[in-house]
Amino acid sequence: MSNTTPQLKVLSIDIGGSHIKATVLDKDGALLTDYSKVETPQPANPENVVKTIKKLAKQFSDYNKISVGFPGYVRDSIVKTAPNLDNAAWENFNLGEKLEEVLGHPARVVNDADMQGLGVVSGKGLELVLTLGTGFGTAVLLDGKLLPHLEIGQSPITRHNSYDNYIGDKAFETEGKKKWNIRMEKVLNILKTLFNYDYLYVGGGNARELTFKLDKNVKLVTNQDGIKGGARLWTTDETPASVVPSSTIK
């Protein structure tokens, strides 16, 4: 009887305001399959999102772990907030446990920016990750380890606007690219002062819309880079404080 440990193969899922994307990764974060994506259902409540993920997962047969990046505050694979989805319906929803039940494999869920951060950082010093899309996501890592998640996107930057409202998709559409870039430059200057980071990574669909010159310690990254963080949820020596297998939650 063999005691060989099965090779780690992670179904890595990124839930966004407009699309849900998935692929299968090996232990090093390399893609074993092509990406597949579907539109995020409307309304984006737990029932509809889980059904969509179940349908999407049928395209991938060979995996033994599940990682999910979710656009909101997540603790112990339990969703606390989902400001860019159907927020009220998600409160205290155990997405990790539900996906284990539906897909039949251990699952871990973290904030989407946190998962992207695990996929892109160098692992040296204080590193900040931003995602520019439907909303404004952030992750902070110290020497490659996730620090407690901060929902900076929900914090006020003006009297009437949160960061989400100030530089999210709706602001880009209503204010236009030029004004949005002026706002983004202001935001990056605030965060540089606030965090004094060693390195900043900027991803998400709107990262490509930045037109001003970035500092030397700022790097643009892709969503494909970020989804690779799904493997690191299962391979890091020390599991991030915000992640535990949902099967241990009582």
Give pLDDT tens digits for 157-195: 999 999 999 999 999 999 999 999 999 999 999 999 999
Return the pLDDT at 121. 94
Query: 242 pLDDT exceeds 80?
Result: no
Beta strands in 42-179 (DSSP E): 65-70, 74-75, 78-79, 93-94, 107-111, 126-132, 136-142, 145-146
Return the pLDDT at 66. 98
Provide the whole-model pTM. Answer: 0.87
- E strand or H helix at 103, and its extent? helix 95-103
Query: 248 pLDDT exceeds 70?
Result: no
Mean pLDDT value of segment 27-54: 95
pLDDT category of residue 250 using cuts at 50, 70 and 90:
very low
pLDDT category of residue 224 using cuts at 50, 70 and 90:
confident
In the chain, % of residues over pLDDT 90: 82
> What number of other Cβ atoms are within 10 A of residue 158's Cβ?
10
Least confident of 15-19, 20-24, 99-103, 167-171: 15-19
pLDDT category of residue 228 using cuts at 50, 70 and 90:
confident
Alpha-carbon distance values, 25 to 115, 185, 224, 230 (Å): 13, 35, 11, 8
- E strand or H helix at 32, and its extent? none
Mean pLDDT value of segment 202-231: 91
| pLDDT, mean over the chain | 91
Mean pLDDT value of segment 214-243: 79
Cβ contact 220:210 at 8 Å: yes
pLDDT category of residue 15 using cuts at 50, 70 and 90:
very high
